[in-house]
Amino acid sequence: MKFRPLHDRVVVRRLESEEKTKGGIIIPDTAKEKPQEGEVVAVGPGARDESGKIVALDVKAGDRVLFGKWSGTEVRIDGQDLLIMKESDIMGVVAK
């Protein structure tokens, strides 16, 4: 990737949602909700505190995260649909 986020920004790739319900009904693309789970692709160096020191981020590339429904800005980089958001928009890391 040729994109490096600044400060406390994080680049996230949405994970694909399920195509079927538990009962076996196939959900068409128009009825699907965008997933709120993704994989961190890149992170910035961190935000600065009051004294000017950089505070490192809690997430790292490769983490699976949950984020808010309306979080981030959608962008297209190298043919991939990605989200750029602040670390504070991430609700948590999904344990493997």
At 41, list the tokens. 């692709």
Six-digit token string for 45: 């160096």
Helices and strands, counts by H and E, the chain: 0, 8
Radius of gyration, alpha carbons of the chain:
15
| Prediction pTM value | 0.75
Which band of pLDDT confidence, cut at 50, 70 and 90, is reported for residue 36? confident
Q: pLDDT tens, 40-75? A: 999 999 888 889 898 888 899 999 999 988 888 899
Domains along the sequence of the chain with CATH: 9-93 (2.30.33.40)
Integer Cα distance of 48 and 68 in angstroms:
24
Greatest CA separation for the chain? 56
